[in-house]
Amino acid sequence: MPPGESTRPVQHRRPPAAAPVPSVTSSGIPIEVRRSAKRRRTVNAAFRDGKAVISIPGHFTTAEESEWVQRMVARLEQRTAQTRRPDPKNLGDELAARAAELSRSYLGGAARPVSVRWVSNQNSRWGSATPARGTIRLSDKLQGMPGWVVDYVLLHELAHLIEASHSPAFWRLLESYPHTETAKAYLQGAAYASARGLAGAMGEDQGAEDTDEEGPGS
Ligand SMILES: [Zn+2]
């Protein structure tokens, strides 16, 4: 079922066991349930803003909510697995295509971001990743740098979707990329040369949804 399409729920007469409504998908994407009094008979599911948004009729019981959220999330994930493009609105650009290519070339296609985008409000970081949401942001300060440098930052953040911390396993993921060391040196030089705005080291998104802490020496 394509995101945004509606499906008509069937009525269940037997009193269902009230399983808890899941709060994240199996891949860790937050689930947001929206109840609508206007919505009478249909349930809708779509990825929006890094979340799986499930819209249900306002009269649903908790048991119905739980059942339909699980069912619709399963369908969303099935579709994601089939297309590998969870959110076409976010991925329909060059950066997303590049991310997919880098993931294929160096990570065996294992990193599948939900969204990849340029941001202009990232002053102290070249890039950041939020593994729990599958989102990647790159600073637009990278624009104009050599392609192999931008690729390195993108690949670095893609690798964080697989390995959240800067563990030895994380750096092993980057070993096959031939420009890792030179790109790190380039970025350090760029940060040094920039008197303001750039702190230097690659930082990561430390949002509440991140469970992995950066280790010392990262
Ligand atoms: Zn990192």
pLDDT in tens, the chain (218 residues): 455 555 565 555 555 555 678 888 776 778 889 998 888 888 888 877 778 889 999 999 988 898 888 888 888 877 766 554 444 444 447 899 999 999 999 999 999 999 999 888 766 789 999 999 999 999 988 988 999 999 999 999 999 999 999 999 999 999 999 999 999 999 988 888 875 554 444 444 433 333 222 222 33
CB 90 within 8 A of CB 112: no
Which residues neighbour 174 within 8 Å (Cβ) at sequence distance 6 or greater? 106, 155, 156, 159, 180
Radius of gyration of the CA atoms of the chain, in A: 20
Longest dimension (CA), the chain: 69
Residues 210, 215, 216, 218, Cα dihedral to 10°: -90
Coil, strand or helix: which one is 34?
strand
Centre of ligand 1 from the C-alpha of residue 37, in Å = 44
Q: Which phi and psi (to 5°) does residue 184 adopt? A: -60, -40
Centre of ligand 1 from the C-alpha of residue 166, in Å = 6
Centre of ligand 1 from the C-alpha of residue 160, in Å = 7
Centre of ligand 1 from the C-alpha of residue 176, in Å = 16
Centre of ligand 1 from the C-alpha of residue 157, in Å = 6
pTM over cut 0.75? no
Query: Domains in the chain and their CATH numbers?
Result: 18-83 (no CATH), 88-193 (3.30.2010.10)
